[in-house]
Structure 1
Amino acid sequence: MMSAVAEDLEAELSCAVCLDVYKDPRLLTCGHNFCHTCLLRVWENQDANLQRYSCPECRTVFEDYPATQRNIKLSNIIERIQATFPEGLKTEVCANHGKPWEFFCKEHKTCLCRSCLEEHKTHQYQLLEDAKAASSRLASDRAKLREQVIQLFNGIQETLNVEKETVLALVDNEKETSLTLLETVIGQLKRHGQAAVRNLSKGICEKLRQEKSTLMEPPRLIQQKTVSSTTLKPSVLPKPIRSLTLKPSTHFTLDPNTAHCNISISDDLLSAQWVASPLPHPAHPERFRLHPQVLCGQGLSRGEHTWQVEVGGTRRWEVGVTCKSRDQAWVDSCISWALRWDGRRLQVFEGHKRYSNPKLSTIKQAPALIQVHLDCGQKTLSFLTAEEGLLHRLSINASGPVFPGFYLEESFVKIRKQEIIQKPIIT
């Protein structure tokens, strides 16, 4: 059986393109490493006419063909670890059955041998080689998309610069024009210009979301509704949800007026899920515009409140709380305080500030049931699971009532009618 240490080392020493342990690792100036052959394959698939190349992981663009450097120290580390764990770092061999991996389960994002396949035969799966090829194609396609978006916005910027010079020349020439009239024109430019940019950005994002499923969908052997994933990271089957002591708490329901156009709300207002095609939600000043998010309708400012939600999906979800500011800027912002699963790990965020702890670092599988405990008096927000207990506790400084909220990307959430597992022990 592969040790936990070997599994962690294997995850850290895996190429982001082929998802195997590095072979002849090459270091880019942005700090990321890749197999030499993987880099060559990705760059060969990028548009040669653009004469631009990018990092497959962070998308840093290089104007000239990057001169890669062999990472000698990383190569030596891999050789030493392979000698220490001769079985653990043979990434093509199943640790449970000792057989070669031949398939990839999309639902649980894990590699399978023929023995493992019996437990996953009802899931959506594909040949391992097809999954690896799809991952490589996806990295190349994403780089092409990034270049197209950069070119588009560069063109927009050039157009705006031309228009700016035209308007400035008009202001300079019309010396007799009253200051009030000029201020009116400038105000109109501000309003219409910002609205045009927002609408254009929203249209591009919606178009990319519509195309995402086609772009990301690799060849498959079984047709199911599960959204595909190209992450080839081994994992284990989900643990059963454990029932814990419940007692009454605040009854929460989702607010449809806040739901992003890619979020579908159930009739009972207790469930939400991400959908690929934008929905015709009516316009509302509190509707999220940039991020696939939705809030509950109940704002909390006093007392203690605990709620329980079921979460799942193949990509990213967040559970947390946020404030509504008077200037409505919050509709373009992420949830203020949140627990995030990004497909690989759990993290806690306060705005853009990221938190982690040893317990979060050991969780390699997304929990299916989350409890959130808000203590308005102590100004704390806690996240718990039945299996792990307290995951993390945040100190929050809210300027007004906070609303439970969710971020859903190829994911879903369901609010339980009885929301409390037991009040977390304050440590």
Structure 2
Amino acid sequence: MACPRQQTFCQALRSDFNANHWRGISKRKMYQMGAEKGGLMATLRLSHEQLPRDLKECFVSCSLFPKGHAFRKEEIIRVWMALGYLDGPGAGVQRMEDTGNSIFTQLLQRSFFKENNEAPGTYIIPEPFDELAEFLSSGEYFRIKKRSEFDDGPINIPERARHVYLDINDLARASGRLSRITNLRSLVVVGQISSGSQKSDLIQTLKELLIGMKCLRVLMVSEPLLADLPKLKHLRYLEIHVEENYGNASLPESICKLYQLQTLIRRFCGNKLSMPKNFKQLISLQFLETEPEAVCTIADIGKLTSLKVLHLRQMRSLRRIGEEIYGQDIPSGFPQLHELLFEGLRNLEEWFLPNRDIQLLPKLRSLSITNCGKLKGPQALPYLLENLPSVFIKNCPNIGKDYIRPSMTIGKPILKKDVECIRTSPVYCQKPASLKRKFADRSW
């Protein structure tokens, strides 16, 4: 197996550069790259310098998160979108998503990212490269390591910091410096409030800081839930992850005024987390993921005209999906939705699909339903599924053969044209012998 340095040079040599590029490389001194001659860091910097500008920017942005941080592809691409790294001439939403996917794939192929074996479906930055990313960020992406509760000294943040990551218990000590950074683009607040901290004081500190962050585009908070969110007119990415059991809670109504918000991810361990009344005013929202342990109200989200991805996970009290979610008296529900996922909806029994007169999910391309043991296949399900390129259904015993057509895939998301026959118990796909070799090296 090749060592990291060999892999780096091999990736570099595969790149399509002209003769002038390589002449320039040959004239550089290793010490000009910030490392000793022949050192691994110099090799990695050489690999990084050959990247196109957009790949460089996206890679370095990952230095905001701790070493070993696992991330999902779609989430990091959404962060890049929110920060404007995928903007360009004619940068429509679909074009930005395509650009993000291309950048991610290239970074993965060049070994700047790698699959995380401990959590399938996620990725990490290999150890040598996370040090490179931190080195190259030069303080623009600044991560504050968690301090001891006995360390009450001030926290210094570089003046050039535009993206900050810190523990919530360090918020008060960092507030003085943070309040002077008026053009902060990202704020990530993690952890749970320790027993020695005053919850009300930290809530107030966070609120005061956010009032001054007029340029903020990405906000991730672990706790607490703010009763009111300041006007953040440029905010595009909001993630709320509350691990402590707070009982019943509601997202603040002021969220509905975040008209530029593209991504909302909410994870909540409690009895009920409700959406604000005017949630449908989020006209730019494209990605919604909800993952509470219990239930949340999601009424009328079908009226979100820009929503493209909807993930519903672990909503134990959700028993029916119907008009109350699609929106009453509308000719089309989820007009732009491309991807729909139901996962672990253990008590979901009914999924009502209207007749063909209602243009429901007209642009849906991918449907995934897993671990929904009580869900019965709606009568109109075959009409919804018949033209979908990607369908994944697993551990849903009540969605039986009556709803399956030869063009569908059950169990593994492969292309329809590659399916020869379908088996529903156990759930998996059979492939023609001619295709076995084609798929032998593909991981699912």
Q: Please state which band the TM-score falls in when normalised by the shorter chain.
A: under 0.3
Structure with greater strand percent: 1
TM-score relative to the length of structure 2 = 0.24
TM-score relative to the length of structure 1 = 0.24
Query: Relative contact order (alpha carbons < 8 A, sep ≥ 6): 1 or 2 greater?
Result: 1
